[in-house]
Structure 1
Amino acid sequence: MTNYKSELVGVFGHPVAENPTIVMQEAAFRDLELDWRYLTIEVKPDQLEDAVKGLRALNMKGINLTIPHKIEVMKYLDEIAPDAALIGAVNTVRREGDKLIGENTDGKGFVRSLVEASINPDGKSMVILGAGGAARAIAVEMALAGASDITVVNRSEEKGAALAELIDQKTAASAKFVAWNKAYQIPDGTDILVNATSIGLFPHVEAFPDIDYNHLTAATIVCDVIPNPPDTIFLQEARKKGCETINGLGMLVYQGTIGFKMWTGADASADVMKAALTKAFGT
């Protein structure tokens, strides 16, 4: 009988049959012929502490986390990476010896998607629509990557102002909050515009952010964090104005490759991951 050991990583949260992270991570395992498995594990909020103990007992290499666990899990880990502590949430846990270390890969994935498109964040002026988890991670990582100023546009003043204050006080970037109570007009000199909301996400593909599209110019790079559909109406409208656009597949793929490296020590193929996602989304 041949004995073998399958390494495990997983996601704690709400299982989704066609979870895109499973699709791309499993594709990368197969591509590198790694005997690893990526599992979805439903964990209720009152079971999170026990689940982390189980992660330790099973010697799992790491996990991703979905809402509502991204903040609560921090109290059960041994260390929190400095940028994740600044963001105030963890979406990835990696094992280092006996230690469990909390990381946040979302913003890193976004920054890498820009770099891969030959866009240097250093000195850039950015407007970000939204102030939720994705927006928070992107704003922090862009500030740490050298963005000069960040405008947070959000309907909730409490969340939007809090994010702008965090960036302004804890990073070298300057930041301000603008209430999103009407069609937002993109300021002149904006280098990067990011939709970090769920507006336009499948199945609500006809929705798009309420901004003044007539004020967009080709000088602004327009990004959407939504991976499905990759080509949102938001991006289509931006291209009509001559803007370079970056879709949400890049952020999803590159945060996946970063997590993959943390767990396995190997470099996943971004092309393999992206092809798997494209097939899964039917695009």
Structure 2
Amino acid sequence: MTMHRTVLDLHVGRAASDGAGVRMTRVFAGQGIERFDPFLMLDQFDTANADDYIGGFPAHPHRGFETVTYMLEGRLRHEDHLGNQGLLKPGGMQWMTAARGIIHSEMPEQQEGLMRGFQLWLNLPGKSKMSPASYRDYEPKELPRVVTAEGVEVVVLAGRFSDGVIEQTGAVQRPDTDPQLYDLILPSGSHISPRVPDGHRVLLYVYEGEVMLEGTQSTPVSANHLVRLSNEGTLTITSTENARVLLIAGAPLNEPIVQYGPFVMNTQAEIEQAIGDYQRGQFGG
């Protein structure tokens, strides 16, 4: 008998503001974050009102984790204290490993039009939190895409996608957390059964349309809802209308998480060191 992954809980994001007043939806973060291990935060920005994003994210620090920014519409300019510069374009992705420290800014390269995308925070294991920082922009053409027999388009941002017929390696591979990040574009009435390793935490964020999950008593999941699934079993997603879904999966680290704003470490002493290093100008590098 086939065992399906079951729904553990359903989340609706809350309105939030970050940076210099950028308005967004905070899908998850903060209290109870261990439930999403190895993921720390997911933000969605989706507005055509320039006043909601024009202030951008002026220079600010990070330590102890990775950020993944996936842009659907709009343009963001990245600059950091290590000398990196890049332009995140529609359909592109930015992968930044803050590790021992990076100070960066993300500023809109537009004064009007739609700004739409996501930022995901991915934890690093304790052994890697003080490794050198790094940064990479991915052009849209560098993100692998496949189309299944059902007509489902899959953008393979990270990991390795397989549905038993098609296999495609993603743009990024990471050790320890083994993230599997896919943007699934489902025509109405189509379905897809991505194979995700048992033991991986699996999150589905429906950001357009509506889907059903096999084995969950046919409970519909509509736009702007996040589903947290059990760590074992198969997964089949069926669209009841045209839908887009972010599949976010990774291997839990099962380590202590101590967070103070943009610093995520394993102990309070490490947080205090991060604050002191930043204040003394000894951050990253």
User: Which has the larger share of strand?
Assistant: 2
Fold agreement, TM-score > 0.5: no
User: Which has the larger share of helix?
Assistant: 1
* TM-score normalized with structure 1 length: 0.31
* TM-score normalized with structure 2 length: 0.31
